[in-house]
């Protein structure tokens, strides 16, 4: 099985929505908005079939990343049928290379805190990502004691890797 990675453009929008739908997500206008921002969207194909995508955002919402000018890998998704085959690793490696080409010295990634994200948590640590030291976030804002937060995709741990 050969993993191919290509940079997406507006012509890939329907393929991106199909991938998004295959992982159970919907968000009208999401991909169109990405092509208007300082982002790079990559699509991974396995045996000529699109199976994953991710985003490298050079203007992340998270304050620490903004302050330190750290791009963030976001919304890394692999369809369930092909997980554990190196696709996510290939995408992360491609994003790291892109960041290095921009002479960036650090890169960020976030990961959800629920069991569903266990494989991603382990992968990111294995690839050298470390928690940024500021604890959990909800929608890229630090969580605080005494507050209740929904355990969903917005409850994350922010991580950083030196390149």
Q: What is the pLDDT of residues 56-91, one digit of tens each?
A: 999 999 999 999 999 999 999 999 999 999 999 999
Residue 55 has what pLDDT? 96
Q: How far is CA 95 from CA 32, 73, 80, in A?
A: 20, 7, 21
Q: Which residues form the domain of 98?
A: 3-110+123-128
- The number of folded domains in the chain is 1
Residue 150 has what pLDDT? 95
Instruction: Say if 21 falls within a structural domain.
Output: yes
The rounded Cα 33 to chain-centroid distance in angstroms is 16
Residue 148 has what pLDDT? 95
Report, as ranges of residue numbers, the positions in the chain whose pLDDT lies below 70.
none
Instruction: Say if 160 falls within a structural domain.
Output: no
**Half-sphere exposure (Cβ direction) of 31: Cα atoms closer than 13 Å:** 21
Instruction: Say if 156 falls within a structural domain.
Output: no
- Greatest C-alpha distance within the chain: 49
Instruction: Say if 158 falls within a structural domain.
Output: no
**Collapsing DSSP states into helix, strand and coil, what is residue 100?**
helix
Q: Which residues are CB-contacts of 135 (< 8 A; sequence separation ≥ 6)?
A: 142, 143, 157
Residue 24 has what pLDDT? 81
The rounded Cα 82 to chain-centroid distance in angstroms is 17
Residue 35 has what pLDDT? 87
Instruction: Say if 80 falls within a structural domain.
Output: yes
Instruction: Say if 162 falls within a structural domain.
Output: no
| DSSP conformational letter for 128 | T
pTM of the model: 0.93
Q: Can you point out the beta strands (E) in 2-154? A: 3-7, 39-46, 49-57, 72-78, 106-112, 130-138, 141-142
Instruction: Say if 142 falls within a structural domain.
Output: no
Looking up residue 28, the CATH number of its domain turns out to be 3.40.630.30
Q: Which of 80, 42, 40, 67 is nearest to 134 (CA)?
A: 67
Instruction: Say if 30 falls within a structural domain.
Output: yes
**Rounded distance, CA 77 to CA 55, Å?**
10
């Amino acid at each position: 099985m050969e993993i191919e990675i290509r940079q997406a453009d507006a012509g890939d929008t329907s393929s991106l929505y199909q991938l998004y739908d295959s992982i159970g997500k919907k968000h009208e206008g999401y991909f169109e908005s990405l092509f208007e921002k300082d982002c790079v969207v990559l699509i991974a194909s396995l045996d000529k079939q699109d199976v994953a995508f991710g985003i490298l955002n050079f203007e992340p919402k998270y304050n620490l990343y903004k302050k330190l000018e750290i791009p963030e890998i976001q919304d890394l998704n692999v369809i369930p049928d092909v997980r554990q085959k190196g696709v996510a690793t290939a995408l992360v490696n491609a994003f790291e290379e892109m960041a290095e080409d921009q002479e960036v010295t650090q890169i960020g990634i976030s990961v959800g805190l629920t069991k569903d994200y266990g494989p991603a948590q382990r992968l990111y640590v294995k690839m050298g990502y470390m928690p940024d030291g500021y604890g959990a976030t909800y929608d890229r804002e630090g969580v605080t004691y005494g507050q209740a937060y929904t355990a969903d995709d917005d409850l994350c741990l922010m991580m950083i890797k030196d390149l």
